[in-house]
A = this chain, B = another copy of it.
Amino acid sequence: MEPTAEHRYVITLSCPDTTGIVARIAGFLADAGGWIVEAGYHSDPGTGWFFTRQVVRADSLPFGPDQLRERFAEVAAELGGETTWTVTDTREPKRIVLLVSEEAHCMHDILGRVATGELPVRLAAVIGNHDRLGPIVRAHGVPFHHVPFPAPGGGDPEARAAAKAQAFADVDDLVSRHDPHAVVLARFMQILPPELCRAWAGRAINIHHSFLPSFVGARPYHQAYARGVKLIGATCHYVTPELDAGPIIEQDVIRVDHSDTAADMVRRGRDIERLVLARGLRWHLEDRVLVHGNKTVVFP
């Protein structure tokens, strides 16, 4: 397939800041005839680190993605051993897997966005801990896998722990089959075990229903109601072993007032959860998010 004007390569790079980085990268691209259609740069005075994201028209380069990667690797190598970089090809479609629970509003939202072509991704599978959502997911042409999790409380704690471990092993197995670019915890309501956090590092994306760092943990809207805040929010972040403490990709809020009960906040907060997750996920899939330590650089 010939490259077209819409066919692009997306380059991201992070390295210790110094003079001449932009010139080195831009020089490399210019020498190859590369036409940069989008470029973001960030020089971070706090960490002394440099970040860039560049989008190049594929039809402006005399070589394909593999050779671009090979040649760019040499450029990156000159920028020091700590440099990290990626080159992605917009013709290689991204895949995501959704983990859902009974709170299905984020899943419905993503199904709709994929159906309208609004989110540039193939929805490889939805994994749910209830089977009620299967028919609608399948009507969208997306495989649905039911992995039951033990209900909280009650019964033998050891048996429950074993059942939960098995459920996570099943989830891991299903996810692995698709090797997705993102594992989206779309209100999954289960805390990932540390080994999955590590296995999916930089790919597991969670939507937390509060404006973090306020209201970490369970029932954040009820915490917000109790405190009497005038705005409620949602946070899209990468999952790390420490609960609700990973690098934040996106946040937003909406106003509430005294007339909103905790149940109203639960309902109204969904609007902001959907939006924040959709934005954060899009940015991740378009390679707009560069992680450094516990913070993100987002070129929106």
Instruction: Tell me if A108 counts as interface (CB < 8 A to partner B).
Output: yes
Chain B residues within 8 Å of A252, by CB: 230-231
Interface CB pairs A-B, < 8 A, 7? A136-B136, A138-B139, A230-B250, A231-B233, A231-B251, A258-B296, A271-B275
CB distance from A57 to the nearest CB of B (A): 9
Binds B, one of A24-32, A76-84, A166-174: A24-32
Give Cα distance in the complex from A239 to B124, angstroms: 40
Chain B residue nearest in CB terms to A115: B108
- CB pair A271–B267 under 8 Å, yes or no, is no
The residue from B39, B42, B229 contacting A41, defined by CB atoms under 8 A apart? B39
Chain B residue nearest in CB terms to A138: B139
CB distance from A278 to the nearest CB of B (A): 7
Chain B residues within 8 Å of A4, by CB: none
* Chain A interface size, under 10 / 10 to 19 / 20 to 34 / 35 or more: 35 or more
The residue from B33, B233, B248 contacting A227, defined by CB atoms under 8 A apart? B248
Q: Which residues A136-177 have CB closer than 8 A to chain B?
A: 136, 138-140
Chain B residue nearest in CB terms to A29: B23
Provided the pairs A213-B214, A214-B214, A251-B231 are in contact, do residues A19 and B34 lie with their beta carbons within 8 angstroms? Answer: yes
Q: Which residues A221-269 have CB closer than 8 A to chain B?
A: 225, 227-231, 233, 247-253, 257-259, 261-262, 267
- CB pair A270–B118 under 8 Å, yes or no, is yes
Chain B residue nearest in CB terms to A267: B118
CB distance from A46 to the nearest CB of B (A): 7
Q: Which residues A197-232 have CB closer than 8 A to chain B?
A: 211-215, 225, 227-231
Chain B residues within 8 Å of A91, by CB: none
Residue from A136, A140, A261 whose CB has the most chain B CB atoms within 10 Å: A136
Q: Which residues A34-50 have CB closer than 8 A to chain B?
A: 34-46
Provided the pairs A231-B252, A252-B231 are in contact, do residues A30 and B41 lie with their beta carbons within 8 angstroms? Answer: no
Give Cα distance in the complex from A296 to B229, angstroms: 9
Instruction: Tell me if A71 counts as interface (CB < 8 A to partner B).
Output: no
Q: Give me 13 other A-B pairs in contact (C-beta within 8 A), A108-B112, A118-B267, A211-B214 excluded.
A: A20-B30, A22-B30, A22-B36, A37-B43, A105-B118, A108-B108, A115-B136, A212-B214, A227-B248, A229-B251, A230-B250, A230-B298, A257-B300
Lowest 6 A-B CB distances belong to which pairs? A108-B112, A139-B139, A23-B30, A228-B295, A23-B26, A20-B30
